[in-house]
Structure 1
Amino acid sequence: MGVIGYGLGVIGAGIGIGLAAYGATTSMARQPEVQGRLFTVFILGSAFVEALALIGFVVTLIAS
């Protein structure tokens, strides 16, 4: 049962990073002058999403 929960968590993280990458790419295409700052915010957001996915993995292992 925990594997299903972790799978759903990974799907959520994948969708979150995909939407963030899409938004960052679109924003950089519209306003190239904010590329540096936007890239930094994108990397931080991606790190937070990946951390949540990793926490889901650890909780799944502990609960099993």
Structure 2
Amino acid sequence: MRECIRCHTEMVEGCDLKVQGAGYGIILADSEKIFANRLGKPKVAVCPKCGEVSIYFDNVDLLKK
């Protein structure tokens, strides 16, 4: 359960972030290089009370090197 940082309401998880006008989303990579390792898709949660959007990555083990 994610909690809104603004109003402390339980957020709705499982949302996705898409680029408008395209069928693809965004991918988290471990560097800015063209052929960087792809870590996966970030997840999105939205607060049903105030509309705050939280983008997070839940597989943090991939970030530890």
TM-score bin, normalised by smaller chain? under 0.3
**Comparing both structures, which one devotes a greater share of its residues to helix?**
1
Larger RCO, structure (CA 8 Å, separation 6 or more): 1
TM, length-normalised to structure 2: 0.19
